[in-house]
């Protein structure tokens, strides 16, 4: 459970502070599926929100595990 908690924290922090890296993964995934990608302010906002939620969930998992 500790590994899972640490993994969630790392992904959450990356979503908040390394948006360019996350965006490159999104573009790559979309290219594999033949979809176009457009980075918007809404995408940036929701990436930050989900990153915070994931980081908190990871912290909770780490403390409980």
Tell me the torsion sign for CA atoms 22, 26, 29, 31: negative
User: So where are the chain's domains?
Assistant: 2-64
Whether 3 and 63 have beta carbons less than 8 Å apart is answered as no
**If you search the block for the tokens 């979809």, which residue do you land on?**
35
pLDDT tens digit string along 11-54? 999 999 999 999 999 999 999 999 999 999 999 999 999 999 99
pLDDT of residue 55 exceeding 90: yes
Task: Return d(Cα 45, Cα 53) in angstroms, integer.
Answer: 13
The per-residue pLDDT for 65 is 78
CA-wise closest residue to 46 among 26, 61, 62: 26
Global pTM reads 0.83
Give the whole-angstrom CA distance, residue 32 versus residue 27.
9
């Amino acid at each position: 459970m500790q590994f899972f908690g640490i993994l969630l924290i790392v992904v959450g922090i990356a979503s908040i502070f390394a948006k360019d890296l996350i965006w490159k993964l999104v573009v790559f995934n979309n290219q594999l599926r033949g979809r176009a990608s457009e980075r918007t302010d809404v995408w940036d906002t929701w990436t930050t929100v989900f990153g915070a939620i994931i980081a908190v969930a990871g912290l909770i998992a780490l403390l409980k595990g």
